[in-house]
Structure formats: C-alpha cells, structure tokens
Amino acid sequence: MNLMSLITDNVTELLIKIVKFTQTRQKLLIQNIINVQNPGFIPQELEVNEFSNLLNNAIDEHVRNQRLVLCDTENIKFGASGSIELKPVVDEHGIKLLEEDKDEYIERQISKLWENSINQKVAAELLRQKQGTIPIDR
C-alpha cells in the first residue's frame, strides 16, 4: 500500500512517518537478532530520541501556526512527496551487551521489538481512524 497517497493533512502525514519509521526500525531489530552469531556483526539502531524530538517540534509548530515543519538531521531526512530517509547508526550499547551476554542482548532486542510494535500499531490504528475506515467511539 502506498502510504503517501493517504496524506490529507498534517496529522495524517505525521502518523504515516511514524509507521514508516517503525517499519524500518523493525527490520533493523530483526537483523540484529538474526546476525547475533555472525563474527564481527555490529548491531544497528535508528535514532529514536532524535525522531521523537523532531515530531514533538513539528507538533508544537502545527499547534502554534497550523503548519507542519519537519527539519532534517544527520540521520533523518525528509524529502519530496512526504518521503523519509532514515540512516541507521551503530548501537553502542548493543555492541557492549553482545560482547558481555548474548542472552541479555537478545532479550533487549526483543524488548525493543515489542515497544516498536506497539508504537506501530497505535500509529496505524490512529491513521485508520483518521482516514475514516474505522468509526471512532465517542
């Protein structure tokens, strides 16, 4: 499904960006688990706090001025037609855990997957409600 075709307003655009971010992060986290036994593997992560701060700033701007302003960072770039480019970074904490305790490392990756999954489901549900495909209980 082409999520960008659903954009009708600023809130919808933010929800789509959250879904895309969480989809990309899910793939990275799964690779972090799959590659745990590969010698020299370096775990990666997306800049979750950076993304969260960008969205908070965009929401503040939307509330104040009814416009959506998304500013690029080193690891997150917003493009034409609502596209988003996400640059993975080395997960330093993951490297340390992987060296010290593989079981704990895997548990941490699974925990991140659960958190990410919840964020994705919430954004997708809000998007469905916003698009009117599911009635909102009042």
Q: How many Å apart are CA 90 and CA 42, to the nearest integer? A: 7
Question: Using CA atoms, how far apart are residues 24 and 46, in angstroms rounded to an integer?
Answer: 8
Helix axes 102-130, 92-100, angle to 10 degrees: 140
Contacts of 111 (CB under 8 A, 6+ apart): none
> C-alpha distances in angstroms, 136 versus 15, 54, 77, 83?
16, 28, 33, 28
Task: State pTM to two decimals.
Answer: 0.87
The reported pLDDT for the residue numbered 134 is: 52
Render pLDDT for 53-101 as a digit per residue (tens, 0 to 9). Answer: 999 999 999 899 988 899 999 999 999 888 999 999 999 999 999 999 9
- pLDDT tens-digit map of 4-49: 444 457 888 899 999 999 999 999 999 999 999 999 999 999 999 9
